[in-house]
């Protein structure tokens, strides 16, 4: 297992972790969370021995292989399939030995190299790589393309696929869902659920964490606190802690005020000097419990539009192509006032191209986009962030807007987006991606649009800013068109979905879960169509291999089913106990003064019973999910 023991690390002079502790067991999947800048990525670099440790230790079993996504593409002169397969280091070594033996015309070395390849089931590796690439949105035509032919976003996907190919005991994934579309995110969730190694994931996507992890490691105040369960369980536990912390803080404030009053009253009196002095020492010794700060420092809202034309936009017979490649064909759409549109479709299907048509950055080659009079669009996309003046401050950006507010009003406005007075005056070139994204959002909010178009707004945003954006859009009275891989945000905002697919844009008849299941089914069908067998393998051998794999999967289910039976009995008992405690508490005599101790005991037992029942139910659901995943694998 991986153990961080009293670990302290810095970024320059800034302390990030101070005596932090964490343990990651084999097969455990943990989400690593915390606000931007707390040291999550630096911690990964520390585990990979790329950053020095100030004090403490990182313990890694000698035989463990640590897998991660490489920062730069190591070689761009190979095709995508070879690049991904070489993520499996054993396969890469064996394949290189085969190539060297062939070049040297050394038959003995060649036999030995092929024997080594056979021992690691190397014949299965290219097929596994193809399955990964299909899941991440690549097609057969992409396999032979040189890496340099892919854009930056698609190269990020290739690096992720290469990392997933590693035979790692521990996989480190830093924001793996960035640059993925929501369909690929759904596929990645399923893949990680079945991954047998341990995984440590940095992510701000709450729904992704809910689906994948069984524990949360929260970095806060230079410490790491571990919470069992998914992100929803973390939020529940964290909120309970904060409420207790606030109550303790309030109580301590009263105690401290009492001590201060005594000291002030009696410090000048000789007869009370000793008691006053002891209270001074008590005040000094008292460990102050920090007051609970608002969990989210970002609270902003989109201003109510002055008016909302209806319809806001008519798109008729719109078509567009890049050269010979047709992107959109004969698109007909109507956007009504107050519509909440989730724009879905795999990367490359034309979502961003459609948005650029709507905001006028691209002109349709045929057809029209008719925008009603009075429509004011607020458009957020990555290139909008890149077009900010990096030599100017946030304050200068706001003061440059039409009908700009006063200097102080601008500072107050920027404060809602987490910019301090000092940051308001600093050039933004030194800002993080998240801070620049917040500034771009602030400018949109100030412009008071009645139509907001957001293209992947969450890529650089931490969880607190995402939550603030979610709340602001929900309260916004105008129309919204949203493209995002954040399932939580998309589901909470959208009331209908436009599906961009094969050049068409159609209204999807169903909810987001139904859409994603449809996409996963399509990916699975593509994977099944392209399964390969071992070279020279007969049909009989293939049937035997499939039967053996089926027996392995069936054996895997049995212990889960056995544990579920035990849990079923335990749940029945706990539910019966809980019903008894409820019946006891309906007895009015229990609340008499004479039964104070009995009441306290009953409340304690009830609370313990409720907590255990919740834990047992969570485990039952987890096991059911594992069994369903194995059954789905059996069916395939």
Average pLDDT over residues 268-281: 56
Which CATH number covers residue 94? 3.40.50.300
pLDDT reported for residue 154: 86
Q: Say whether both 125 and 217 belong to one domain.
A: yes
Is the pLDDT reported for residue 271 higher than 80?
no
- 228 in a structural domain: yes
Coil, strand or helix at 143: coil
Q: Say whether both 365 and 397 belong to one domain.
A: yes
Is the pLDDT reported for residue 243 higher than 90?
no
pLDDT reported for residue 332: 93
Average pLDDT over residues 21-41: 89
Is the pLDDT reported for residue 597 higher than 90?
no
Instruction: Name the pairing type of β-strands 366-371 and 313-322.
Output: antiparallel
For 63-84, the pLDDT digits (tens) are 888 988 887 776 667 889 989 9
Q: Which residue has the tokens 């369909």?
A: 183
pLDDT reported for residue 292: 45
Q: Say whether both 275 and 225 belong to one domain.
A: no
pLDDT reported for residue 278: 54
pLDDT reported for residue 550: 65
Q: Say whether both 212 and 249 belong to one domain.
A: no
- 39 in a structural domain: yes
Which CATH number covers residue 580? 1.10.287
For 102-144, the pLDDT digits (tens) are 888 888 888 888 888 888 888 788 888 888 898 888 888 889 8
- 256 in a structural domain: yes
pLDDT reported for residue 458: 87
Is the pLDDT reported for residue 252 higher than 50?
yes
Q: Say whether both 49 and 122 belong to one domain.
A: yes
Residue where a domain terminates, one of 234, 267, 297: 234
- 296 in a structural domain: no
Least trusted range by pLDDT, from 156-170, 231-245, 258-272, 502-516: 258-272
pLDDT reported for residue 510: 83
Least trusted range by pLDDT, from 41-50, 260-269, 563-572: 260-269
Q: Which residue has the higher pLDDT, 199 or 523?
A: 199
- 266 in a structural domain: yes
Q: Say whether both 404 and 503 belong to one domain.
A: yes
pLDDT reported for residue 566: 87
Q: Which residue, among 537, 532, 618, 568, has the nearest Cα to 130 in the 3D structure?
A: 532
Please give the mean pLDDT across all residues of the chain.
Answer: 83
- 474 in a structural domain: yes
For 469-505, the pLDDT digits (tens) are 888 888 888 899 999 998 888 888 888 999 999 899 9
Percent of the chain clearing pLDDT 70 (strictly above):
87
Per-residue pLDDT band for 216 (boundaries 50, 70, 90) equals very high
Number of domains in the chain: 4
Residue where a domain terminates, one of 234, 269, 295: 234
Could you tell me the CA-to-CA distances from 68 to 44, 420, 544 in Å, in that order? Answer: 9, 35, 35
- 298 in a structural domain: no
Q: Which of 89-93, 558-562, 603-607 has the highest mean pLDDT?
A: 89-93
Q: C-alpha angle with apex 313: 309 to 319, nearest 5 degrees? A: 175
Residue 52 token pair: 């020095």
Asked if residue 283 has a cis previous peptide bond (ω within 30° of 0), the answer is no
Q: Say whether both 91 and 111 belong to one domain.
A: yes
CA 495 to chain centre: 23
Q: Say whether both 494 and 571 belong to one domain.
A: no
Q: Say whether both 262 and 191 belong to one domain.
A: no
Q: Say whether both 504 and 565 belong to one domain.
A: no
Is the pLDDT reported for residue 30 higher than 90?
yes
Residue where a domain terminates, one of 234, 250, 274: 234
Q: Which residue has the higher pLDDT, 162 or 14?
A: 162
pLDDT reported for residue 293: 44
- Domain span at residue 135 reads 2-234
Least trusted range by pLDDT, from 222-231, 246-255, 600-609: 246-255
Q: Say whether both 374 and 484 belong to one domain.
A: yes
pLDDT reported for residue 36: 78
Could you tell me the CA-to-CA distances from 78 to 86, 132, 165, 243, 456 in Å, in that order? Answer: 11, 18, 17, 56, 30
Percent of the chain clearing pLDDT 90 (strictly above):
21
For 349-406, the pLDDT digits (tens) are 889 999 999 998 989 889 999 999 999 999 998 888 888 899 999 999 999 888 888 8
Rounded CA-CA distance 423/421 in Å is 6
Average pLDDT over residues 451-460: 89
Q: Say whether both 229 and 239 belong to one domain.
A: no
Residues whose CB falls within 8 Å of the CB of residue 68, separated by 6 or more in sequence, listed in order: 44, 48, 163, 171, 172, 173, 174
pLDDT reported for residue 534: 47
Kindly report the pTM of this predicted structure: 0.69
- 578 in a structural domain: yes
């Amino acid at each position: 297992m991986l153990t961080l023991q009293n670990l302290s690390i810095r970024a320059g002079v800034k302390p990030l972790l101070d005596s932090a502790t964490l343990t990651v067991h084999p097969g455990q999947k943990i989400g690593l969370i915390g606000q931007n800048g707390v040291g999550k990525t630096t911690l990964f670099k520390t585990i990979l021995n790329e950053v020095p440790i100030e004090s403490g230790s990182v313990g890694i079993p000698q035989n463990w292989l640590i897998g991660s996504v490489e920062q730069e593409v190591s070689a761009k002169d190979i095709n995508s399939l070879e690049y991904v397969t070489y993520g499996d280091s054993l396969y890469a070594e064996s394949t290189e030995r085969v190539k060297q033996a062939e070049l040297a015309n050394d038959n003995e070395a060649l036999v030995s190299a092929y024997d080594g390849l056979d021992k690691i089931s190397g014949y299965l590796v290219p097929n596994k790589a193809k399955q990964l690439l299909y899941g991440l949105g690549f097609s057969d035509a992409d396999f032979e393309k040189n890496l340099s032919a892919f854009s930056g976003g698609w190269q990020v996907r290739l690096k992720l696929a290469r990392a997933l190919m590693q035979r790692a005991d521990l996989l480190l994934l830093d924001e793996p869902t960035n640059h993925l579309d929501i369909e690929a995110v759904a596929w990645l969730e399923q893949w990680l659920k079945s991954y047998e190694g341990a995984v440590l994931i940095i992510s701000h996507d709450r729904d992704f964490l809910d689906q994948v992890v069984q524990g949360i490691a929260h970095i806060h105040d230079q410490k790491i606190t571990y919470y069992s369960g998914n992100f929803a369980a973390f939020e529940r536990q964290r909120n309970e802690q904060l409420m207790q912390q606030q109550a303790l803080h309030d109580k301590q404030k009263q105690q401290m005020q009492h001590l201060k009053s005594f000291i002030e009253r009696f410090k000048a009196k000789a007869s009370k000097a000793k008691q006053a002095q002891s209270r001074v020492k008590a005040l000094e010794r008292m460990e102050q419990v920090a007051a609970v700060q608002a969990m989210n420092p970002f609270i902003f809202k989109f201003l109510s539009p002055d008016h909302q034309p209806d319809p806001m936009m008519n798109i008729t017979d719109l078509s567009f192509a890049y050269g010979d490649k047709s992107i959109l064909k004969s698109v007909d759409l109507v956007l009504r006032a107050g519509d909440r549109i989730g724009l879905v479709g795999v990367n490359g299907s034309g979502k961003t191209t459609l948005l650029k048509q709507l905001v006028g950055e691209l002109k349709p080659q045929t057809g029209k986009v008719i925008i009603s009079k009075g429509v004011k669009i607020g458009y957020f996309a990555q290139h909008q962030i890149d077009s900010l003046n990096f030599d100017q401050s946030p304050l200068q950006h706001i003061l440059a807007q039409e009908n700009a507010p006063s200097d102080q009003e601008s500072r107050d406005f920027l404060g809602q987006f987490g910019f301090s007075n000092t940051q308001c005056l600093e050039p933004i070139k030194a800002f993080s991606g998240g801070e620049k994204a917040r500034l771009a959002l602030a400018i949109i909010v100030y412009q008071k649009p009645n139509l907001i178009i957001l293209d992947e707004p969450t890529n650089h945003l931490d969880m607190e800013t995402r939550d603030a954006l979610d709340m602001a859009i929900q309260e916004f009275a105008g129309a919204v068109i949203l493209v995002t891989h954040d399932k939580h945000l998309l589901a909470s905002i959208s009331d209908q979905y436009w599906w961009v697919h094969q050049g068409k844009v159609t209204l999807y008849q169903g909810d987001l879960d139904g859409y994603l299941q449809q996409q996963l089914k399509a990916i699975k069908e593509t994977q099944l169509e392209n399964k390969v067998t071992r070279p020279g393998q007969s049909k009989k051998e293939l049937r035997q291999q499939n039967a053996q794999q089926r027996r392995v999967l069936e054996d895997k289910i049995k212990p889960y089913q056995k544990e579920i039976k035990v849990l079923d009995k335990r749940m029945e008992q706990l539910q019966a106990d809980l019903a008894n405690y409820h019946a006891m508490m309906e007895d009015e005599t229990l609340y008499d003064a004479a039964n104070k101790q009995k009441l306290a005991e009953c409340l304690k037992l009830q609370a313990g019973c409720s907590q255990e029942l919740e834990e047992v139910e969570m485990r039952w659901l987890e096991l059911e999910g594992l069994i369903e995943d194995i059954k789905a694998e059996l069916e395939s």
